[in-house]
Amino acid sequence: MGALAIVAWSCFGMLMASNHVTPPFLAIAVVFTSSTLTLLLWRLLRGQGLRGLLPIPLATLSLGFIGLFFSNSLYPVSLSLGGAPVSVNIAALSWPVFMVIFVVGFRVARATWLDALAMLVGLAGVVLLATKGGGVSIDWAVLPAFIGALCWAGYSALRSKVPAGPPDAMLLFVAVSGIASWLVTMMAEPGASAPPDELLRLVLIGILPVGLANLAWDFATRYGDPVLLAGMSFLEPVASTALIAVVLSKPVSFSDYAALLLILSAVACSIMSERLRRKWSSPQAAASPS
């Protein structure tokens, strides 16, 4: 489920970057509205109504809102402030590194040296992929994207530490985020509008990367291994590059292939670490003398 979410997320940057007219918070408001309707329809198709969605623990709702709203809204804000796309991409894709820091700092799971290696190698691959082998200049406009990465990392790492809430808690997360986005739009972007073609792309973002993908990720972070998920998340830039190459007919350079090798190596390290932790926690290991 986590892998499926990561693949779907790879569509987010390509679709969002193609919107040049729509203001950032209006764009996110449309995205969250579309994702809310998508998840609501999914619930109705399963024969469930609104009953059972509430009540939800405040800690769970707060964590979901912080992670979802800020991670999605601050990325286009960085772009609208004039942040260089390369720097914004690096900032936005840095959340797996922060996730492992949260996991270890809050003792969510036991990390190994392989996890540290996976994070370093994976981040190197992300940087290489984003820079295409070139240099990166400091751009303070990327600060919102870094904050968004921190928020999503905190949500992903700590999701299992708060009450699970209803099975469709993600529906509540996106609904509250949508309400907040419309409120910000009315205050900061009065009279804003979106062209029909951009509106369609924003609706698609709401259905796939933000709606169905986040539903799958919520399930993964609730029941899966958080450190393994952090390592797997480095596949996102690889999938994104593949989509850009195929859909937009962009050539893949040598640095892209090198980044792919680094990222896949990071995933391999994370998988090996997860197996090592399973060995530590097995009944045989627990019963063996220290």
Query: What domain range includes position 50?
Result: 2-276
Distance CA 67, CA 61 (A): 10
Per the domain annotation, does 87 fall within a domain?
yes
Does residue 229 sit within a domain? yes
pLDDT for 283 beyond 60: no
Q: Write out pLDDT tens, residues 233-259.
A: 777 777 776 776 777 676 677 777 787
Which pLDDT band holds residue 276 (cuts at 50, 70, 90)? confident
How far is residue 76's CA from residue 80's CA, in Å, rounded to a whole number? 6
Residue 59 has pLDDT above 90, yes or no: yes
Q: What is the mean pLDDT of residues 12-22?
A: 82
Q: Is 289 a residue whose pLDDT tops 60?
A: no
Q: Is residue 286 part of a domain?
A: no
Give the contacts of 6 (CB within 8 A, at least 6 positions apart).
213, 217, 232, 233, 235, 236, 239
Q: How many CB atoms lie within 10 A of CB 59?
A: 13
pLDDT confidence of residue 63: 94
pTM for the model: 0.79
In this structure, is residue 61 part of a structural domain?
Answer: yes
Q: Is 163 a member of any domain? A: yes
Segment 141-159 mean pLDDT: 88
**In terms of DSSP H, where are the helices of 106-212?**
113-131, 143-158, 169-188, 196-205
Q: Among 38-52, 123-137, 215-229, where is mean pLDDT lowest? A: 123-137
The residue behind tokens 């090996």 is 272
Taking only the tens place, the pLDDT of each residue in 187-216 is 999 888 889 999 999 999 999 988 888 888
Residue 289 is assigned to a structural domain of this protein = no
Q: Are 177 and 61 in contact (CB under 8 A)?
A: no
Residue 286 has pLDDT above 50, yes or no: no
Average pLDDT value for residue range 126-152: 76
pLDDT at residue 146, rounded to an integer: 86
In a domain, 74, yes or no: yes
- For 35-61, what is the mean pLDDT? 85
Domain tally, the chain: 1
